Amino acid sequence: MDALIYLLIAVHVLLAIGLVIFVLLHSGKGTGLSSMFGGMSSAGGGTSIIEKNLDRITIGLAVSWALTSVLLMMFYRPI
């Protein structure tokens, strides 16, 4: 059981680092990832495909991080 807890902690830390990185990649007030690639924007919505995928990845990381937080709260019992 301890090995699974340590694995869950490792996944939790990796998700937290990934979440920080992907949040920092988001654009703010006209700058960011979309301008770095030359402003490739799609016809609808005004946001690029890259930013939409970046949003999806960030949301997935956030949900996964929250899930591992709940699992750690339920199963981790320090001595």
- The reported pLDDT for the residue numbered 26 is 83
End-to-end CA distance of the chain: 14
Q: How many domains does the chain have?
A: 1
In a domain, 63, yes or no: yes
Please list, in sequence order, all residues whose beta carbon lies within 8 angstroms of the beta carbon of residue 62, skipping any fewer than 6 positions away: 19
Q: What is the residue range of 67's domain? A: 46-79
Structure tokens at 59: 């949301």
In a domain, 58, yes or no: yes
Bigger pLDDT: 79 vs 44? 79
In a domain, 56, yes or no: yes
In a domain, 21, yes or no: no
**Residue pLDDT, tens place only, 10-24:** 999 999 999 999 999
Q: Distance (Å, rounded) from C-alpha 66 to C-alpha 51?
A: 22
In a domain, 74, yes or no: yes
In a domain, 60, yes or no: yes
In a domain, 8, yes or no: no
**Residue pLDDT, tens place only, 20-78:** 999 998 876 655 555 566 555 545 555 688 888 999 999 999 999 999 999 999 998 87
- The reported pLDDT for the residue numbered 60 is 96
The DSSP-derived string for 37-78 is: TT----SSSS--HHHHHHHHHHHHHHHHHHHHHHHHHHH---
In a domain, 32, yes or no: no
